[in-house]
């Protein structure tokens, strides 16, 4: 009753074997182009309706991989609270979901956790990934709790703390003298050569399934209410697609009636998704260099699904100037106690444009995706 469905042609595929892109739509895809034929898991929503209880919510009902394969380390269940000083300043209810409090310090743990569970299910002993830093340190961290080995392609220029994390954890780290997009290409070549399970974001459909658990936590921690807005820092567009998928699953299972409006925040140099949503024409971000390293992407892998997430929720785009990022990190910290890495701090920059449209009775969730201690060099510029 549960299967993968191509988000472009609707073709269905069984879950038992490893599959990345739709073999029809993704046939001509090459690294260096946005992914086409990304697969999405379709669940047995009637089974969920019959078995879900609000008193004892069993979120594993929404999981594609049986919980007996889960790694022993615990992820998620991160803090969620109202930032009352920000609520006062912006005249609406401002809530923070602090996913920097995951074991490796970012939301990426959610995707790696499910991918390592999938490796356990398949009996795979290695997982490969490309990363700007956080996906790799997440994979390295989760793998360290199991017998699965992480093979990581990462740009040499990644922040020191992230490189230290992945090296110290025992992962096989291959530093790429280039950008994230170069690392992505190297990891795809590795998978094609050695057949190793690939965790690249959106390329494997379970990365979206893993990240969607943040939506369930927001819903539960918000007293089983759907917030009006959720602000998401966007790079490849997988987190925002996953938040959308999580709420869509809740709606398909009849638990909720409306979806939160999703706000995509990118930086001015790394804005391929926002610019696609605004103009309807896709082009790469020419030179995506930004201090918000985790959302620096030339060719975002999940641009089309991310655009759908924003359109179908009546969401909006916010593009942040480079000069706003470090002040946002400082203000967010001083107004809420939350220390975010630069890529996560950009969520704060959406509050000012939102102030014009959000009603005083409405709620805005800032999804803080990574911890400030991940990148002390950048934060030091603020001190």
Ligand X SMILES: *Cc1c(COP(=O)(O)O)cnc(C)c1O
Strand spans (E) along the chain: 3-6, 12-13, 39-42, 80-82, 93-98, 126-130, 149-155, 172-176, 197-198, 229-233, 261-267, 316-320, 363-368
Q: Does 295 bind ligand X (CB under 6 A)?
A: yes
CB of 23 to Zn ion, least distance (A): 8
Mark the segment that binds ligand X (CB under 6 A) among 39-47, 70-78, 337-345, 356-364.
Answer: 337-345
237 binds ligand X (CB under 6 A): yes
- CA 103 to mean position of chain CA atoms: 15
Q: Give the DSSP H/E element, type plus range, for residue 192.
A: helix 180-194
- What are the structure tokens assigned to 371, written together? 């911890």
Per-residue tokens: 101 = 């409090």
Which range touches Zn ion (CB under 5 A), out of 20-28, 53-61, 62-70, 349-357? Answer: 20-28
Q: Does residue 8 touch Zn ion according to CB under 5 A?
A: yes
Q: Tokens 């961290």 appear where? A: 141
Q: How many residues does the chain have?
A: 383
Which one among 37, 76, 103, 235 touches ligand X, defined by CB under 6 A? 235
Query: Which one among 198, 294, 317, 363 touches ligand X, defined by CB under 6 A?
Result: 294
- Residue 22 is a binding residue for Zn ion (CB under 5 A): yes
Q: Which two tokens stand for residue 25?
A: 């739509």
Residue 296 in contact with residue 180, Cβ under 8 Å?
yes
- Are 318 and 54 in contact by the 8 Å Cβ rule? The answer is no
Residues 147 and 127: their CA atoms lie apart, in Å, by 11
Region label for 184, one of left (φ > 0), alpha (ψ between -120 and 50) or beta (otherwise): alpha
Residue partners of 223: CB distance under 8 A and separation at least 6 = none
343 binds ligand X (CB under 6 A): yes
Could you tell me the smallest distance in angstroms from the CB atom of residue 270 to ligand X?
Answer: 10
Q: Decide if residue 375 touches ligand X (CB under 6 A).
A: no
* Binding of Zn ion by 37 (CB under 5 A): yes
Q: Are 218 and 353 in contact (CB under 8 A)?
A: no
* Residue 201: contacted member of Zn ion, ligand X, none (CB under 5 to 8 Å, by partner type): ligand X
Interaction of residue 78 with ligand X, rule CB under 6 A: no
Q: Which is nearer to ligand X, 357 or 376 (CB)?
A: 376
What does the alpha-carbon distance between residue 265 and residue 269 come to, in Å, rounded to a whole number? 12
Q: Which partner from the list ligand X, Zn ion, none does 9 bind, CB cut-off 5 to 8 Å by kind?
A: Zn ion
Residue 352 is classified by DSSP as H
238 contact choice in Zn ion, ligand X, none (CB below 5 to 8 Å, kind-dependent): ligand X
Rounded Cα gap, residues 365 and 351, in angstroms: 10
The contact pattern for ligand X, residues 244-283, with x = CB under 6 A and - = no contact, is ----------------------------------------
Taking CB positions, which residue lies at the least distance from ligand X?
A: 370
Q: Which region, judged by CB under 6 A, interacts with ligand X, from 23-31, 46-54, 78-86, 229-237?
A: 229-237
Site string for ligand X, 134-173 (x = CB under 6 A): x---------------------------------------
Among 2, 9, 32, 85, binds Zn ion (CB under 5 A): 9
Does position 305 bind Zn ion by CB under 5 A? Answer: no
Of 6, 242, 345, 351, the one binding Zn ion by CB under 5 A? 6
- Provide the binding-site residues for ligand X, judged by CB under 6 A: 106, 108, 134, 201, 233-239, 294-295, 341, 343-344, 369-370
């Amino acid at each position: 009753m549960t299967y993968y469905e191509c988000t472009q042609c609707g073709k269905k595929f069984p879950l038992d074997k490893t599959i990345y892109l739709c073999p029809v739509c993704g046939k001509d895809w090459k690294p260096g182009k946005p992914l086409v034929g990304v697969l999405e898991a379709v669940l047995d929503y009637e089974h969920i309706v019959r078995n879900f209880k609000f008193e004892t919510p069993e979120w594993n009902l929404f999981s594609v991989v049986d919980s007996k394969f889960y790694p022993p380390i615990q992820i998620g269940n991160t803090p969620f609270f109202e930032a009352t000083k920000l609520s006062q300043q912006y005249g609406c209810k401002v809530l923070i979901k602090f996913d920097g409090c995951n074991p490796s310090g970012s939301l990426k743990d959610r995707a790696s956790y499910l991918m390592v569970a999938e490796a356990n299910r398949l009996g795979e002993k290695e997982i490969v990934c490309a990363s700007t830093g956080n996906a790799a340190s997440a994979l390295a961290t989760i793998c360290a709790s199991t017998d699965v080995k992480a093979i990581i392609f990462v740009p040499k220029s990644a922040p020191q703390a992230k490189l230290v994390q992945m090296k110290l954890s025992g992962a096989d780290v291959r530093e790429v003298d280039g950008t994230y997009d170069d690392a992505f290409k190297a990891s795809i070549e590795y998978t094609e050569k050695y057949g190793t399970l690939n965790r690249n974001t959106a390329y494997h459909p379970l990365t979206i399934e893993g990240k969607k658990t943040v939506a369930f936590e927001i819903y539960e921690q918000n007293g089983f209410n759907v917030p009006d807005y959720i602000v998401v820092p966007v790079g490849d567009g997988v987190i925002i697609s996953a938040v959308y998928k999580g709420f869509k699953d809740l709606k398909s299972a009849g638990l909720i009636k409306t979806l939160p409006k999703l706000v995509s925040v990118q930086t001015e140099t790394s804005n391929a998704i926002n610019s696609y949503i605004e103009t309807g024409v896709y082009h790469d971000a020419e030179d995506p260099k930004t201090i918000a390293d985790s959302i620096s992407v030339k060719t975002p892998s999940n641009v089309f699904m991310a655009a759908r997430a924003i359109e179908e929720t009546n969401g909006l785009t916010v593009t942040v100037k480079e000069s706003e990022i470090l002040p946002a990190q400082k203000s967010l910290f001083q107004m809420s106690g939350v220390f975010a890495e630069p890529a996560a701090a950009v969520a704060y920059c959406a509050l000012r444009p939102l102030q014009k449209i959000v009603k005083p009775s409405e709620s805005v969730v800032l999804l803080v995706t990574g911890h400030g201690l991940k990148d002390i060099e950048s934060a030091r510029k603020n001190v």
